[in-house]
């Protein structure tokens, strides 16, 4: 039974009108937008017009002409769309459902050109007052993924797979020296004074301005740059009762007594362990346990993650999941937008690192880095059998938004020291976490 009938959103009230090719009401879409996870975690500006400006910029750049160098994966995507009648239908309906004034790309050809343009470029810092240029694929896809047909389209496995392949190809570009052109001190570059401050480059990181691109070899190399020694000191080394944050982020949700299977797409039922842990045989150990979720901010947050406890890695997984979906049942309720975080934990591209602490009742701790939007890619530096100490690096995010969950067994944690805001999951949370700093006290039999 759904529980969101009390406040159907205005966009929902128009019901199936959307399917006739009519656009979604812009005001309703804006109300939904400001509550979305992607906005709350600072990967898109809250203002539709900023996103619109970026799209118009892309359109202008494409209109400048010149031969179009088509990315082969974008061509593959176009084939998936054109060869599947109802996929094409959803796609065309999606474009038509974007509200008037925001419908910058009206045909499948224009849509593909926009995606193709973005995956040939690296993100610009551009404007210190808006982040629309910093997340170009999110800004391009934003209005599409908010339409009813877009939600159905982006959930289709063949479309998600095709877009994932486009993003992998883009990731290769962002891993290459060709992407360094945005690493400059110009007003739109990542080394301009505003960007240096925004990313805390001068305080938390170790750039070398005497070297080309200050020592970084690609945009992604800059994105998941290493932190300056001493900036993220490790709390309680050797003390198994002290559990540290594996990542920089903002406390988002704590859910206790988590079920093996739950309706993670509904408001208030955030986590479904069997889905989140991808049916790992270790799942049953966590039933009745606790999920602690954070999200990583765009700017100065460090984009690597570390071991929160000492122990042995007993299982790792990298799961290619959904990149551009949000829970649409949650979207029916305008107040519940960021609840989509639980959705991401259940279906998004993510890693699983299970660390056996060998200490009861703390037992096994599962670290779940989640890639969201943009290239949705993450890399693990550890494998099964490795021994880790608190603070050891375990992996990094490539360019894109990210979230993070840590899963504990029942009775493992005595107290969380950083809590998400009470009753405030739909408000901007304020409690920040820093990598390697204690955030929970474990119950351990010493």
Q: Token pair for residue 277?
A: 């842990």
Q: Token pair for residue 130?
A: 């808006």
Query: Using the rule CB under 8 A, is 301 a contact of another protein?
Result: no
In this structure, the strands spanning 432-433 and 311-319 are unpaired
Rounded to whole angstroms, how far apart are CA atoms 399 and 296?
Answer: 12
Rounded to whole angstroms, how far apart are CA atoms 72 and 109?
Answer: 15
Minimum gap (Å) between residue 209 Cβ and another protein: 47
Is residue 426 within 8 A of residue 338, CB to CB? The reply is yes
Residues in Cβ contact with 226 at an 8 Å cutoff, skipping those fewer than 6 apart: 205, 206, 304
Q: Using CB under 8 A, pick the residue from 26, 34, 62, 89 that binds another protein.
A: 89
Number of C-beta neighbours around residue 203 at 10 A: 11
Integer CA distances (angstroms), 292 to 33, 154, 257, 439, in order: 25, 27, 12, 10
Instruction: Write the burial class of residue 279 (CB in 10 Å: 0-12 exposed, 13-18 middle, 19+ buried).
Output: exposed
> CB-wise, 310 or 333, nearer to another protein?
333
Query: Using the rule CB under 8 A, is 86 a contact of another protein?
Result: yes
Region of residue 245 (left: phi > 0; alpha: psi -120 to 50; beta: else): beta
> CB-wise, 263 or 398, nearer to another protein?
263
Q: What is the DSSP string of 358-375?
A: --TTT-EEEEEEEEESTT
In this structure, the strands spanning 242-244 and 393-397 are unpaired
Integer CA distances (angstroms), 94 to 87, 144, 145, 252, in order: 10, 6, 8, 31
Size of interface with another protein, in residues (CB under 8 A): 40
Q: Using CB under 8 A, pick the residue from 56, 70, 83, 384 that binds another protein.
A: 83
Minimum gap (Å) between residue 150 Cβ and another protein: 12
Q: Using CB under 8 A, pick the residue from 264, 324, 408, 439 that binds another protein.
A: 264
Minimum gap (Å) between residue 265 Cβ and another protein: 4
Q: Using CB under 8 A, pick the residue from 9, 12, 117, 326 that binds another protein.
A: 12
Sheet holding 242-244, edge to edge: 242-244, 438-442, 413-416
Q: Using CB under 8 A, pick the residue from 11, 325, 403, 409 that binds another protein.
A: 325
Q: Using CB under 8 A, pick the residue from 1, 64, 415, 446 that binds another protein.
A: 1
> CB-wise, 127 or 161, nearer to another protein?
161
Minimum gap (Å) between residue 233 Cβ and another protein: 38
Query: Using the rule CB under 8 A, is 304 a contact of another protein?
Result: no
Q: Using CB under 8 A, pick the residue from 45, 207, 240, 346 that binds another protein.
A: 346
Q: Using CB under 8 A, pick the residue from 107, 109, 158, 203 that binds another protein.
A: 158
Q: Using CB under 8 A, pick the residue from 66, 67, 85, 281 that binds another protein.
A: 85
> CB-wise, 330 or 442, nearer to another protein?
330
Q: What is the DSSP string of 118-166?
A: HTTS------TT--TTTSHHHHHHHHHHTSHHHHHHHHSHHHHHHHHHH
> Which of 148-156, 181-189, 411-419, 433-441 is the region at the interface with another protein (rule: CB under 8 A)?
148-156
Q: Using CB under 8 A, pick the residue from 43, 44, 81, 152 that binds another protein.
A: 152
Minimum gap (Å) between residue 30 Cβ and another protein: 21
Is residue 272 within 8 A of residue 346, CB to CB? The reply is yes
Minimum gap (Å) between residue 55 Cβ and another protein: 23
Binding site for another protein (CB under 8 A): 1-2, 4-5, 8, 12, 15-16, 19-21, 82-83, 85-86, 88-90, 92-93, 148, 152, 155-158, 263-265, 272, 274-275, 279, 322, 325, 327, 329, 332, 346-347
């Amino acid at each position: 039974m759904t529980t969101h009938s009390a406040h159907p959103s205005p966009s929902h009230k128009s019901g199936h009108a959307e399917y006739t090719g009519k656009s979604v009401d812009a005001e309703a879409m804006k109300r939904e937008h400001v509550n979305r996870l992607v906005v709350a975690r600072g990967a898109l500006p809250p203002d539709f017009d900023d996103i619109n400006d970026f799209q118009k910029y892309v359109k202008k750049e494409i209109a400048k002409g010149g031969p179009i160098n088509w990315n082969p994966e974008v061509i593959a995507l176009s084939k998936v769309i054109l060869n599947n009648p109802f996929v094409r239908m959803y796609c065309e309906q999606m474009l038509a459902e974007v509200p008037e004034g925001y419908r910058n790309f009206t045909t499948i050809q224009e849509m593909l050109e926009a995606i193709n343009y973005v995956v040939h470029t690296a993100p610009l810092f551009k404007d210190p007052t808006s982040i629309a240029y910093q997340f170009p694929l999110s800004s391009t896809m934003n209005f599409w993924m908010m339409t009813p047909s877009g939600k159905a389209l982006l959930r289709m496995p063949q479309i998600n797979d095709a877009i994932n392949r486009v993003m992998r190809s883009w990731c290769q570009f962002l891993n290459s020296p060709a992407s360094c052109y945005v690493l400059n001190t110009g007003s739109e570059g990542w080394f301009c004074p505003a960007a240096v401050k925004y990313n805390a480059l001068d305080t938390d990181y170790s750039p070398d301005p005497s070297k080309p691109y200050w020592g970084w070899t690609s945009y992604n190399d800059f994105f998941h740059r290493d932190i300056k020694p001493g900036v993220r000191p490790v709390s309680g080394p050797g003390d198994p009762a002290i559990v540290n944050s594996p990542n920089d982020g903002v406390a988002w949700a704590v859910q206790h007594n988590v079920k093996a299977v739950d309706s993670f797409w509904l408001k208030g039922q955030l986590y479904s362990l069997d889905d989140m842990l991808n049916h790992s045989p270790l799942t049953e150990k966590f039933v009745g346990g606790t999920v602690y979720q954070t999200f990583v901010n765009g700017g100065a947050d460090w984009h690597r993650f570390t071991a929160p406890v000492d122990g042995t890695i007993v299982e790792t997984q990298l799961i290619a999941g959904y990149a551009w979906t949000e829970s649409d049942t949650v979207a029916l309720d305008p107040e519940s937008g960021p609840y989509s975080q639980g959705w991401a934990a259940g279906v998004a591209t993510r890693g699983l690192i299970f660390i056996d602490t060998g200490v009861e009742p703390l037992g096994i701790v599962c670290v779940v880095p989640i890639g969201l939007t943009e290239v949705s890619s993450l890399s693990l530096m550890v494998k099964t059998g490795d021994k880790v100490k608190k603070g050891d690096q375990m992996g990094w995010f490539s360019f894109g938004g990210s979230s993070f969950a840590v899963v504990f067994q029942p009775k493992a944690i005595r107290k969380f020291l950083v809590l998400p805001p009470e009753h405030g999951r739909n408000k901007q949370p304020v409690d920040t976490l820093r990598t390697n700093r204690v955030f929970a006290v474990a119950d351990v039999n010493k």
